[in-house]
Amino acid sequence: TPDCAVLHPARLVRGLVRAVERRGVRLLEGTRVTAIAPGSASTAHGTVTAEIVVRATEAWTPQLPGHERTMAPVYSLVIATEPLPPAAWEVIGLRRREAFADHRHLIVYGQRTVDDRLVFGGRGAPYHLGSRVRPAYDHEPRVFARLWSSLLELFPVLRGTAVTHAWGGPLGIPRDWCASVGLDRRTGLAWAGGYVGDGVSTTNLAGRTLRDLVLGHDTDLVGLPWVGHRSPPWEPEPLRWLGINAGLRMASVADAEEALTGRPSLVARRLAPLVGH
């Protein structure tokens, strides 16, 4: 489809950094915010004050006091092959670097890179009790192995190919799976997030919408349905841990059921309310 495009997310971020710094914005990386309140953001080194404070912390949101149940961090992991020869690409396709996915319940996605690697990712890593986020959770050998197995099912020509990179990170998931953006004029607290893995593109829309909200501009963006939306809180622990991990397991079972029967999964029907369908 001509409406699909791929990009390098890290390069996008670095480009945005250069763009905002040229406009005089000062970025303080590595400064951990421990709490937010109307008019202020607290850090280990002091308090920053501002008329409007924007919470755009995604998977790290539960680490802020008062937001423990606002978002659930669920991990998505990725593998990348060595550069593939032209003969392999003749079999695989993706000549125009099309991105791809399928309709399995445990989501997968992939794309061809500019240096001819095949990058393939998906869900399946466990949710950690208390919405914990740790660098160690970016690496789940069991999930990496399952991704490789799924990739071989899709493209058997890759058998014998080396996987040279594997990484991951947490997504922010609201209870109703609906992203939102908003500004409370009374408190000066604004927010954006809950992208459920679609943040590379959606954050751009969120940023432009927040701009108009903060500046008080009456534009089409501020009238979009997600503006001002408030997702319900997640269940308290350990119900949240039980529910999310059971849902991940059910998604895997639903995929196995459909592969076996060739029909829509009965398990998936039970899963639908949990994943916002």
From first to last of its 277 residues, what are the pLDDT tens digits of the chain? 677 788 899 999 999 999 999 999 999 999 999 999 999 999 999 999 999 999 999 999 999 999 999 999 999 999 999 999 999 999 999 988 889 998 888 899 999 999 999 999 999 999 999 999 999 999 999 999 999 999 999 999 999 999 999 999 999 999 999 999 999 999 999 999 999 999 999 999 999 999 999 999 999 999 999 999 999 999 999 999 999 999 999 999 999 999 899 988 988 888 777 666 5
Identify the pLDDT of residue 231: 97
Identify the pLDDT of residue 4: 75
Residue type, 215: L
Domain 72-173+237-271: CATH architecture, name and number where available: 2-Layer Sandwich (3.30)
Residue type, 109: Y
The CA-CA-CA angle for residues 182, 185, 187, to 5°, reads 100
At residue 188, what are phi and psi to the nearest 5 degrees? 80, 15
- In the chain, list all ranges with CATH 3.50.50.60: 9-71+175-223
Identify the pLDDT of residue 1: 66
Cβ atoms 172, 151 nearer than 8 A = no
Identify the pLDDT of residue 277: 58
Identify the pLDDT of residue 272: 78
- In the chain, list all ranges with CATH 3.30.9: 72-173+237-271
Task: Work out the end-to-end distance of the chain between its first and last CA atoms, rounded to an integer number of angstroms.
Answer: 25
Please identify which residue in the block is written with the tokens 């790290």: 60
Residue type, 180: S
Is this structure's pTM higher than 0.75?
Answer: yes
d(CA 245, CA 126): 6
- Which residue blocks in the chain are alpha helix, DSSP H? 9-22, 86-92, 141-154, 199-215, 239-261, 266-271
Exposed (0-12), middle (13-18) or buried (19+): which is 220, by Cβ within 10 Å? exposed
Rg of the chain (C-alpha set) = 21
| Strand partners of residue 118 | 112
Sign of CA dihedral 172, 176, 178, 179: negative
| Strand partners of residue 37 | 40
| Strand partners of residue 168 | 77
| CATH fold group of domain 9-71+175-223 | FAD/NAD(P)-binding domain (3.50.50)
| Strand partners of residue 74 | 171
